[in-house]
Amino acid sequence: MIRLLFCLLLFCFITVSESTGQKKAAQPSYGQVTLTTNALKDKIKGGWAGQTIGVTYGGPTEFKYNGTFIQDYQPIVWYDGYLKKTMTETPGLYDDIYMDLTFVDILERVGLDAPVDSFAQAFAHAEYKLWHANQAARYNILNGIKPPESGHWLNNPHADDIDYQIEADFAGLMTPGMPNAASTISDKIGHIMNYGDGWYGGVFVGAMYSLAFISDDMNFVISEALKTIPAQSNFYKCMQDVINWHKKYPADWKQTWFELQKKWSDDIGCPDGVFAAFNIDATINSAYVLLGLLYGKGDFGKTMEIATRAGQDSDCNPATAGGILGTMLGYDKIPKQWKLGLSEVEDMDFQYTTMSLNKVYETGYKHALEMIKRNGGTVKQNEVVIKAQKPVPVRFEKSFDGMYPVAQPILNEPLKNEYTFEFEGTGFAMRGKATKRNNNLPDKVLEATVFLDGKELGHYKYPTNFTTRKLEIAFKYQLPNRKHTVKIITKDIPAGYELRATDCIIYTDKVPAKHQH
């Protein structure tokens, strides 16, 4: 009788668990994990295909919904042929993939031990367009500031931006079940363009990809991957909040979104987002990735839709979420609806590269086999034995520590001959750019010398060419909290060209008092 009662209770528990979609996956022990070679290939393909599908799906909404989510009634299109149309007509959308492929190409041509300068020079001299931390790092490298200094926040105002987070897929896809090996790769390459929380975004993403090879429990993958991040960092605290809010509001991703807005939507680093709804900070966008992964409950379409509808960088976020879930599911289990038209683009090289999806499927598999062997595993004819790694935290870093934005004076001044600007605080980031008044004019490199409090801060080049442009006129942090004078002396700006300062972010070292109403 007791045995019968136990069996009935067990049957009811299993039935309820399965009906609510909360079926628990067996957890891997951190030791040897065996995968067939076919399964490994399938997961690598799923990761690359998933992120390609995700970035295409979210592309039309990118940064059109800042500080708000996309309403349920607004359709997000997907149809057979959409992938080919987007890859052909909007190649710049795929910056998160062509950056990945640049690094994969170096690993293939130079080897897994390629020096960081090989990666840095490859993307710095590439023809494709870049933005934010990537572009600031490109400018630094082209002008003699090498990694890791090229990504450090004292040299890169965009150090906490999303850039390496959207490019770290390759690190996780070549380290199946080995998140610490992924972190080692991210340490080398991620510091080319990021630092602190910006770097942690890539470390975290790489670890999630890595663990998605050995577990089909998304909660486990996320919580274990988070162990690669120092617990005292804001990035860790934000991700842990998302995990906790998901438990508190398991059926309402929008409530968790609102909690994120209240606590984590500030951006003090990126000069474009400090006093704007625009937010390209790695932390908040990584939180939106988690919204998709947790509330999507393993459903590929739902995962991508939530990561997209959360807003902000709403093409890169579903790309990351789709890639991680695609790795977990494997290529063959990505629903057919989402692979519509995929086969007709898999042999197309991504613009500005010599790599296609089919090529990176093969190359990524080759690199994964090499990394398995390097990290104590074995490769057999039909299976691999992975020595799975228990995640350990990387070192603690913090960008913009003790800095508080207090003002954004509008300048809108053409910098001619000599220009002087005064501010009071501990740092500044002056926005602006070099332009030509007529697109038929050839590109030129304008020059200016910047002085701070009577001492030369630097002599800078300002290309009018978009690919090699400088994002800020000048910036400097960690100054004494007092009045400062910035003087800019331009050098022979020819007719038809202009160096213009638009505005300036001013920082202090004390938390500003709340405005009195």
Instruction: Give a yes or no: residue 517 inside a domain.
Output: no
Distances in Å between the Cα of 393 and the Cα atoms of 181, 224, 233, 440 are: 12, 11, 11, 52
One domain, residues 301 and 419? no
Same domain, 35 and 97: yes
**408 and 461 share a domain?**
yes
Residue holding tokens 């940064």? 63
SS (H, E, C) 135-204: HHHHHHHHCCCCCCHHHCCCCCCCCCECCHHHCCHHHHHCCCCCHHHHHHHHHHHHCCCCCHHHHHHHHH
pLDDT at 12 over 90: no
Q: How far apart are CA 149 and CA 68, in angstroms?
A: 35
Residues 170, 317, single domain; the answer is: yes
Helix, strand, or coil here: 235? helix
Average pLDDT over residues 372-383: 97
The pLDDT of residue 28: 66
Residue with tokens 């429990």: 217
User: Percent of the chain at pLDDT above 70?
Assistant: 94
Sign of CA dihedral 290, 296, 297, 299: negative
Q: Kindly tell me if the per-residue pLDDT of 18 is higher than 60.
A: no
Last residue in a domain, options 339, 354, 387: 387
Amino acid at 260: L
**Mean pLDDT score, 295-302:** 98
Examine the fold and report which residue of 362, 387, 412 is the final residue of a domain before the chain moves on.
Answer: 387
Task: Grade residue 15 by pLDDT with cuts at 50, 70 and 90.
Answer: very low
Please report whether residue 366 resides in a domain. yes
* Residues 345 and 408 grouped into a single domain: no
DSSP annotation string for 195-234:
-HHHHHHHHHHHHHHHHHTT---HHHHHHHHGGGS-TTSH
Query: Residues 31-45: what's their mean pLDDT?
Result: 97
- Amino acid in position 391: P
Nearest to 137 by CA among 96, 97, 191: 191
Q: What is the pLDDT of residue 29?
A: 67
Q: What is the pLDDT of residues 103-123, one digit of tens each?
A: 999 999 999 999 999 999 999
331 pLDDT higher than 80: yes
Shared domain for 425 and 356, answered yes or no, is: no
* CA trace torsion 159, 160, 163, 165 (10° rounding): 130
pLDDT of residue 512: 77
Mean pLDDT confidence for 198-227: 98
Q: Please give the Cα distance from 406 to 364 (Å, whole number).
A: 46
Please determine, for residue 343, whether its predicted confidence score (pLDDT) is greater than 90. Answer: yes
Does residue 106 fall inside a structural domain?
yes
Same domain, 74 and 149: yes
pLDDT surpasses 80 at 466? yes
- Nearest-angstrom CA–CA distance, 304 and 318: 5
Task: Give the domain-ending residue among 355, 387, 419.
Answer: 387
Q: Identify whether 4 is part of a domain.
A: no
DSSP, res 298: T
| Confidence band, pLDDT 50/70/90 cuts, at residue 5 | very low
User: Is there a single domain that holds both residue 291 and residue 359?
Assistant: yes
Examine the domain organization and report whether 320 and 412 are in the same domain.
no
The total of other beta-carbon atoms located within 10 Å of residue 19's CB is 9
Q: Strand pairing partners for 445?
A: 463
Angle in degrees, CA 230, 186, 358, rounded to 5: 135
**Is 60 contained in some domain?**
yes
Domain count for the chain, please give it.
Answer: 2
Domain assignment of residue 435, yes or no:
yes
Could you tell me the residue range of the domain that residue 475 belongs to?
404-508
Condensed to tens digits (0 to 9), the pLDDT of residues 398-419 reads 999 999 999 999 999 999 999 9
Over range 338-359, report the average pLDDT.
96
Joined together, the tokens standing for residue 127 give: 């023809």
Q: Which of 105, 133, 108, 138 is nearest to 120 (CA)?
A: 138
- Count CA within 13 A, CB hemisphere, residue 327: 35
Contact 167, 26 (CB under 8 A): no
Q: Is the pLDDT of residue 6 over 50?
A: no
Over residues 383-401, mean pLDDT: 98
Q: CATH no. for residue 504? A: 2.60.120.260
Residue 487 lies in a domain: yes
> What confidence score (pLDDT) does residue 350 get?
94
Q: Is residue 20 part of a domain?
A: no
Is 207 in the same domain as 106? yes
Number of other CB atoms surrounding residue 477 within 10 Å: 18
Q: Which has more confidence, 8 or 247? A: 247
Across residues 341-346, what is the average pLDDT? Answer: 97
